[in-house]
Amino acid sequence: RWRYVTGVQTCALPIFKKECKESKALEEGGIFMSETEVLENQGKLDELYIKEYLDQLKTAEQASYKADREYEADSKNTEKKEAFVEARKTEIQACLAAAEALVKITDGAIDIPTAKSLIKEQRAGVHEICEGLEHGLTKEQVRLYANPEFSNLQMREIRSGLENGLTEEQIRLYARPKFGYVNMREIRSGLEHGLSEEQVRLFANPEFNDGQMKEIRLGLEGGLSMEQVGIYAKPLFYGEQMKELRLGLQNMGFTAKESNQQQHHAKRSMMGKGR
The larger pLDDT score, comparing residue 264 to residue 2, is at 264
By C-alpha distance, which of 179, 245, 244 is closest to 206? Answer: 179
Nearest Cα neighbor of 193 from 218, 230, 171 is 218
Q: Is the pLDDT assigned to residue 32 strictly greater than 80? A: no
Q: Three-state DSSP class for 23?
A: coil
What pLDDT score does 182 carry?
Answer: 97
Can you tell me the mean pLDDT for 104-117?
Answer: 90
Q: What is the DSSP string of 112-139?
A: HHHHHHHHHH-HHHHHHHHHHHHTT--H
Mean pLDDT score, 187-203: 97
Average pLDDT rounded to a whole number, residues 141-159: 95
Per-residue pLDDT tens over the stretch 78-104: 999 999 999 999 999 999 999 999 999
pLDDT > 80? residue 263: no
pLDDT at 73 over 50: yes
What pLDDT does residue 42 have?
A: 59
